[in-house]
Structure 1
Amino acid sequence: MSDHSVFNSTYRAFLFDMDGTVLTSIAAAERVWTTWAVRHGVDVETFLPTIHGARAIDTIRRLGLPGVEAEAEAAWITEAEIEDVDGVFEVAGAAKFLRSLPVNQWAIVTSAPRKLALRRMGAAGIPEPEVMVTAEDVTAGKPDPAGYQLAARRLGVEPEQCLVFEDATVGILAAEAAGADLMIVTATHGQPVETRHGTLASYESVRVLVDAAGLMGVHKI
């Protein structure tokens, strides 16, 4: 965990990515995408690292496979992932951390469709927020900032007043483009992360303090 300025700042709202940030679904997602890739003749080893953090439809469109209907294939991916939540777990301490926040001052912004997001959150014990932006809510997914901008708007704040918790490159780019501060959650990273943003290895090592004006700050325990 870095000694970054985000630990000495206060925010109107916290915005959380889902997969890799408050829960881990890597094993389940990679099982489904491996099946799909093999069926379409896509090299699994080079393809799998590209799936994380992006909407399924954007991932499929990016490949430009001839004769593939992206909408139909994305729907298949979603249904398969809804069926397979084996190995979907909470990132340690995330649920308790989220429950410690004022309910009207945090949101989840995910590239997953809403039905899949709720399924994974239920499997991992993650509380459902009052505001959740999912794949259906935006026409352009991460790294486009639209999702984070929409979540801030629904919470009645500006993106610049928010701290975004992210883990994936496309999400980091989206939050940067939105103008928000960033906390990079490294709990699910296998390698050290080099970043100019604050980093958080464990939710269990921090707590949130809310001041008299309702501003929230992340403080090390």
Structure 2
Amino acid sequence: MFAGRKFAALLFDMDGTVVNSIAAAERVWADWARRQGLDVAAFLPTIHGVRAIETIARLALPGIDPMREADALLKAEAADIDGILPIAGAAAFLASLPPERWAIVTSAPRELALLRIAAAGIPLPAILVAAEDVSRGKPAPDCFRLAAERLGVDARDCLAFEDAPAGITAAEAAGATVVVISATHQHPLQTPHAAIASYAGLGITVDDRGWIMLAADRAAA
């Protein structure tokens, strides 16, 4: 995968990419959707990879304040972290990366992101771009561009790990190379990008400039 390619930094979405929080998120959102009289089965696939405020605003429900509802959902999600797990191999892979060469770029608010990172037991990044750090969430490219800027690199020189269409579109628009994590996909995602089911067997080499190349992890082989 990406044979011979080197990247200035690696940018990771969180939910569905390094953390499996689907069960917890869908419990909270299903309860909310039922209270709004929505078709829960049709609605739940639309929540992933997008900021809560934008998901709610898109529905244009009468009498609903998206900001107030998003705040209430944050509190409910923060109170429900049961069953949150790391994507296979993610903790070891993230721990192997130079700290100044990777970031998490999530549509979740910072408070919730920190809770889920801790619950999953994955390393806390030096750079975390969360929902409140940008005025436009995914699929806009702002979050990936901001993460690259904070790492001191160009987004076009980065490799972005994503699992959801909105995030893939955001990474593409930022000019990053994309790899899709399919661990939580219930159905195949049609994508032109390289895809992997987990981080098992994935390692890195780092050149004298600090640029990263993906490699087979000999220890896992």
**In the TM superposition, what are the counterparts of 1:172-211 in structure 2 within 5 Å?**
172-211=168-207
Matched ranges for 1:133-152 at <5 A: 133-152=129-148
Matches within 5 A, 1:157-176: 157-176=153-172
Query: How many angstroms apart in 1 are the aligned matches of 2:76 and 2:39?
Result: 20
1:125 paired to 2:116:
no
Moved more, 210-219 or 156-165: 210-219
C-alpha distance in 2, partners of 1:192/1:35? 27
1:48 to 25, 44, 52: 44
CA distance in 2, matches of 1:161, 1:108: 16
Query: Normalising by structure 2, what TM-score?
Result: 0.96
- In the other structure, the counterpart of 1:39 is 35
- Residue number in structure 2 paired with 1:82: 78
- Partner secondary structure for residue 203 of structure 1: coil
CA apart distance, 1:200: 1.5
Aligned length: 217
Q: Which runs of 5+ in 2 are unaligned?
A: none
Per the TM alignment, residue 171 of structure 1 is displaced from its structure 2 partner at its CA by 0.1
d(CA) in 2 for partners of 1:52 and 1:205? Answer: 27
The residue that corresponds to 2:94 in the other structure is 98
Aligned residue number for residue 153 of structure 1: 149
Gaps of 5+ in 1: none
2: CA distance, partners of 1:75 / 1:32: 13
Which contiguous aligned blocks of 4+ residues in structure 1 show a shift greater than 3 angstroms?
none
Task: For 1:209 and 1:192, locate their aligned partners in 2 and report how far apart those are by CA, in whole Å.
Answer: 30
* CA 8–197 in structure 1, closer or farther in 2 if over 3 Å, else same: farther
Percentage of pairs with the same residue: 55
Could you tell me how far apart the structure 1 residues matched to 2:70 and 2:189 are?
Answer: 30
**1:11-50 residue CA offsets vs partner (Å, 9 max, x unmatched):** 0100000000001100000000011011111111110010
The one-letter code of the counterpart of 1:171 is G
Question: How far apart in 1 are the matches of 2:184 and 2:41?
Answer: 19
Aligned to 1:220: 216
Cα shift readout 1:65-91 (whole Å, capped 9, x = no counterpart): 011011110001101000001111000
Cα deviation 1:141-186 (Å, max 9, x = unaligned): 0000000000000000001110000000000000000000001111
